[in-house]
Each structure stands twice: as C-alpha cells, then as structure tokens.
Amino acid sequence: MGFPLRLPIPDAVVRIAQRLETAGYETWCVGGAIRDNLLGLENHDFDLTTAAPPADVRRLFKRTVPVGIEHGTVAVLDSDNRAHEITTFRKDIKTDGRHAVVEFGVSLMDDLARRDFTVNAIAYHPLRHEWRDPFSGAADLDAKLIRSVGDPNWRFQEDYLRILRALRFSARFDFRIHPRTLEAAKANVQGLAQLSAERVRDEWFKGIATAGRVSKLVQLWVDVGAARIWLPEIVGKREQGGGTSALENLPRDPVLITAHLASDPASLLTRLKCSNKDIERGRAIGRWRDTYPDPKHLAQVRKWLSEAGDYADDLLALPSSPSPLSRVVAAIRAAKDPLTLKDLAVTGDDLLAAGVRPGPGVGEALERLLGEVLEDPARNTRDYLLSRV
C-alpha cells in the first residue's frame, strides 16, 4: 500500500504536536485513528505519542488530565474541551500477563514495537507528514490480516488481553488472524483466566458493539477457546443448538446479546461482574424468553406486560418473540390500558377507608383488582373496584 501524502489531522491535534516539537520533543500520531484512516474509515480521534516525559506534557499545556499517568498517558483539553491523549514513548520492561512495568525515554521504534498488532503500530508525523511502519502494518491492512508485532506467543504472554483484542479487531474489520498469531492465541488461551473480569467484560462488550457480524465474534471466541473460559454458558447453549439464530437482527446491546446467547444469562453476567441492574435484566430474559403470551389473547398480553414490566421490550426484541406481539403491545400501550398497581383507579388508602383491615390484605386485594382490570380495562373505575372489595 502506498501511504497517502497527508492525513486530515484536526487543527487542535496539530497545535498540540507543534508545541511539543517546538519544546524539542518528537511527536507522532499513532494507533487506531491511523489504522482507520488508512482503511478509509472516519476516525478523528488521533492519539499522539511523544518523547516528552509525562511531567513535561503536563507543564507544557494549561489544561491536562492524568488519565493513565502510570502508563505515561496524559489528556490535553483543547479550547472546545475535547480531550486528546498523549502517551510518552514507552517500552514494557517487565510484564506478568496482566500488568506492565514501563520505561520512558525510549525511541519511537521501541514504542511501536510494544504495540499489539502490526496494523496498530503505524506512525504518522502530523507536521512533517512522514510515515513509520517498521512492522509492515500497511501491507497487513491490504492483506486484511491481524498479526502480532514480534513473536505472538511472547506478546500474548506479556498481556493476555491481546488475545481478546485480536478477536475483536478480526470481527470488526472482517480480517483474518495470521496463522501463527491464531495458533499462539489458542496455545495461550488458558492465560485469559488470570485477567480481571472487568477487562474481559469491557473487551467482550466492545467486541459486540463494533463487530461487523456478531456471529463472527462469537465463533472466534468459541474457536480460540476464550468462550470456554469466560463464557461457558454460551458454549453450552450453542451445543444445545440455540442462541445464534437471528443474531444479526438484534439491537447491538451487549447485555441483551450476551443474555440471548447464554443458557443461564444471570450466571454469565455475574461472572463478568456486571452491575446488579444488568444481572437482573439477564435473569428476566432467561426466565421469560420461553413463555410468551398468545398475541391473539389481549388479556394474556396485558397480564404478561404487567409482569414483565421494564423487561418487556427486551423480550420483544428476542427472536423467540411471536411476530405479531410487538404490534399488539404497541396498541395496548397506545390505549394507555392500566398495567400496574399505580394505574388502578383506587389506592390502598381507598381500600382502608372502605373497611379493608390494615396489613398484607390490602396489597393482596389490590393485586386481585389489578387481575380483574388486566382482564378488562373497562373495569378500572373507582365504583366498580370498590364494589369488588
């Protein structure tokens, strides 16, 4: 691939680079935005890498945020309050598969060499418009290949997350993973067990959000063995022949898609240390996805809506949802039919005033009335309901 003469670097980024270069520090654009622009994809989020030590970056700019100071990353805020990440040239001198001890004050070449894949290790000089591509990343972009920089076994053992990053980039761009890189990913997959659940979850969710086809991402996680370690409920469901149907038609909502793919969504989302809200959402999907109401039976649909509550829309989005159900639900919602205790024409206080004894009987009576109203919304009048207690 020939490199374009110029990339459209935003003015704010050029100004930051100018200030660093004027202070005597070599500064280059690197990473995802370079890769994406070479692929013809829009990405204005150019990261900078510089010879300036983090303390000097902070000194040279008025407004900075130490977003990852231990890795040498400082964000500089421009006049529009946009953050631009600047990372000091670094080299990993010690790694244990999860964390790295880094050394600053190295060269651009060292910095590119510690990057994960060749397509992510291309540098462009925003002022001189020069290119540095010591690992032939541009050729791999042409060949649609994800390939480790250097020895893949070594690179995965330094940071096992890179295995998952390879799967994510492969699914996102529909690139093949180079045979030796793929082989090393499989050989080192057990190392994924050492990663924190949060990092794995972020990677998995980002993969779902960005994959060209989600089914390709899932297939890669299964083939490489990552699913066996972190997503066994997905492997289980696939073995039962379920979960993957109509995957591409689902909204790109990582929790919804994960729940759909899993035999036991709550246990999977718990392992990934998702929020309680997400875990409950997964649990509801697992509990309800096989028991839809008959769309022809309005009272049944209202009862289902009442019980499924906030989860109804998730359940409607799943491929197992009977197709006319969405339309029936839309009609019920448009009619503003009462569906919850709050919608009843009477309150607990009304029942007490009408002589119901205080205590659990009040709640039970309200539930019974709601049941009647779900059968027939016309019953939701004060007079009718009080006549029933």
Question: For binding to ligand ATP (CB under 6 A), which residues are involved?
Answer: 31-32, 47, 115-116, 120-121, 159, 161-162
Q: Which is nearer to ligand ATP, 169 or 304 (CB)?
A: 169
Q: Which is nearer to ligand ATP, 211 or 325 (CB)?
A: 211
Residue type, 370: L
Residue 161 binds which entry of ligand ATP, Mg ion, none, with Cβ cut-offs from 5 to 8 Å by kind?
A: ligand ATP
389 neighbors 354 (Cβ within 8 angstroms): yes
CB of 66 to ligand ATP, least distance (A): 17
How far, in whole angstroms, is CA 27 from its chain's centroid?
Answer: 31
Query: Strand 145-146 vs strand 176-177: parallel, antiparallel, or unpaired?
Result: parallel
Residue 225 binds which entry of ligand ATP, Mg ion, none, with Cβ cut-offs from 5 to 8 Å by kind?
A: none
Q: Which is nearer to ligand ATP, 122 or 312 (CB)?
A: 122
Q: Which stretch binds Mg ion (CB under 5 A): 24-32, 128-136, 279-287, 337-345?
A: 24-32
Question: Phi and psi (nearest 5°) for 91?
Answer: -140, 140
CB of 111 to ligand ATP, least distance (A): 9
Q: Which stretch binds Mg ion (CB under 5 A): 30-38, 105-113, 228-236, 274-282?
A: 30-38
Burial of 251 (0-12, 13-18, 19+ CB in 10 A): exposed
- Residues of this chain, 31-50, that bind Mg ion according to CB under 5 A: 32
Which residue has 């067990």 as its token pair? 193
Q: How many CA atoms lie within 13 A of 336 on its CB side?
A: 4
Q: Which is nearer to ligand ATP, 117 or 311 (CB)?
A: 117
Measure Cα distances from 253 to 173, 196, 209, 256 in Å.
Answer: 19, 22, 7, 5
Beta-sheet strand order (sheet of 131-132): 64-68, 73-77, 83-88, 47-50, 27-30, 123-124, 131-132
CB of 43 to Mg ion, least distance (A): 8
Q: Which is nearer to ligand ATP, 32 or 232 (CB)?
A: 32
Question: CA 135 to CA 380: how far, in whole Å?
Answer: 72
CB of 11 to ligand ATP, least distance (A): 21
Q: Closest residue (Cβ) to ligand ATP? A: 32
